[in-house]
Amino acid sequence: MDKLEITGGIPLDGEVSISGAKNAALPILAATLLADGPVTLGNVPHLNDVTTTVRLLRRMGVEITLHDGRTIEIDARNASRFVAPYDLVKTMRASILVLGPLVGRFGQAEVSLPGGCAIGSRPVNLHVDGLRAMGADISIEKGYIRARTKRLTGARLVLETTTVTGTENLMMAAVCARGESVIENAAREPEVVDLANCLIAMGARIEGAGTDTIHVQGTDRLGGAAYGIMPDRIETGTYLVAGAISGGRVTAKKTRPDHLDAVLQKLEAAGAAIEIGETAVTLDMRGARPRSVDIRTAPYPGFPTDMQAQFCALNAVADGTSAITETIFENRFQHALEMQRMGANLRIEGNTVICHGVDSLTGAPVMATDLRASASLVLAGAAARGTTLIDRIYHIDRGYESIEEKLANLGAAIRRLPG
């Protein structure tokens, strides 16, 4: 297993190009199952989760051509096996995103239940309940969700909890249903909007994506399209925190600053000067130590849970005492325990981490437990005295494209040690 080795204490300086968003690419790849013609996707990030999704689609009989590095052509007209097997779903929960398109277009699906994961129990009951409300006959057998229907019927779906992939699955199911569907308490994340825009390019009739009420008029058929995936707001935020934690100056290019309001506000509160362009954000810490910031995660446009771990690293070396409260997932503080091993002074109280910032962390061997936890340990390593060795970085390769190259370009002393 590969490891990452990072020696801290260097203020990062320079520009980093942001890749396409993982959490937009995954639902959009699943959405190609709905098209009755080839779909060409641009700005597709090079990530293990994308490779897993491509493998999953190919197993279903979908034809996929990889063009230049970032363009993929997908033709689902000959899809014939409507199964997402356990061996793939267990490595990537987002495989659940094929459920809505399969039931919507082909009237059948067998998708392995994802089960729990490192950050919480993460049930998918709302995905299943929504499809049932649209008329799908669903049973849970031997760890699989088995769904059948002649054709889904539009319905009013009130989501009890805001769920990102739940909203996406139901929106994808609804585009092929008979009649109108309304999704209430829908997730407002930019990735939901990106998916809706791609579906609209394929001929879907969707209104209200980005608000908490989405209206979908079902159509008989969606066609091919060409669509470019939005930039990754979490990758952007992660590199900006890298600049802040190291006292440096980092420009994230090819991004969407308007997707990062809550994160940029917290970086400013931490003492960073932020300059916003149309497609770039520059963070300048001017060599200063960050100030502690209190965080409470919330669905978009609130502070993203996917940036919580990175801010935990920032608070670990910041001036002052902070509280980070995680409201989305029940067990998303594994990184905090690893940071303690690097000398962080923090304690977990229920769903809050109380952190007294220390002058500096010390490099140590640490273990990555999930994607964002791994990123936060890289950031902690960039701020620490000495060398940090991060194990199990397959987590990071699921969601950050070439992280060691991008950080090295900013001046970090980082390298991958093949395992």
Helix (H, G, I), strand (E, B) or coil at 9: coil
Interface with ligand EPU, residue 262, by CB under 6 A: no
Cα distance between residue 367 and residue 345, in whole Å: 18
Q: Which is nearer to ligand EPU, 282 or 305 (CB)?
A: 305
Q: In b/e form, how buried is each residue of 203-219, taking b as 16+ CB within 10 angstroms?
A: bbebebbbeeebbbebb
Q: What residues have CB less than 8 Å from 269, skipping those under 6 apart?
A: 291, 293
In whole angstroms, how close is the CB of 23 to ligand EPU at the nearest point? 4
Q: Which residues, listed in sequence order, are joined to residue 417 by a DSSP beta bridge?
A: 3
Distance, in Å, from the CA atom of 41 to the CA atom of 261, rounded to the nearest integer, reads 27
Q: Which of 33, 74, 164, 193 binds ligand EPU (CB under 6 A)?
A: 164
Candidate ranges 117-125, 278-286, 359-367, 385-393; the one touching ligand EPU (CB under 6 A): 117-125
For residue 44, state whether it binds ligand EPU (rule: CB under 6 A): no
Amino acid making up residue 57: L
Establish if 195 lies at the interface with ligand EPU (CB under 6 A).
no
At closest approach, how far in Å is the CB of 115 from ligand EPU?
12
Residue with smaller CB distance to ligand EPU, 10 or 96: 96
Q: Measured between alpha carbons, how far is 226 from 22 in angstroms, rounded to an integer?
A: 18
Distance CA 136, CA 157 (A): 14
* Position among 161, 211, 213, 279 found at the interface with ligand EPU (CB under 6 A): 161
Query: Does residue 213 touch ligand EPU according to CB under 6 A?
Result: no
Could you say which of 45, 104, 166, 343 contacts ligand EPU (CB under 6 A)? 166
Q: Does the active-site annotation cover 355?
A: no
> 404 near 16, Cβ under 8 Å?
no
- Is 53 a binding residue for ligand EPU by CB under 6 A? The answer is no
| Angle formed by the axes of helices 233-245 and 22-31, nearest 10° | 170
Of 372, 373, 390, 396, the one binding ligand EPU by CB under 6 A: 372
Q: Is position 122 an interface residue for ligand EPU (rule: CB under 6 A)?
A: yes
Q: Which residues bind ligand EPU (CB under 6 A)?
A: 23, 26, 94, 120, 122-127, 161, 163-166, 187, 191, 305-306, 328-329, 371-372, 399
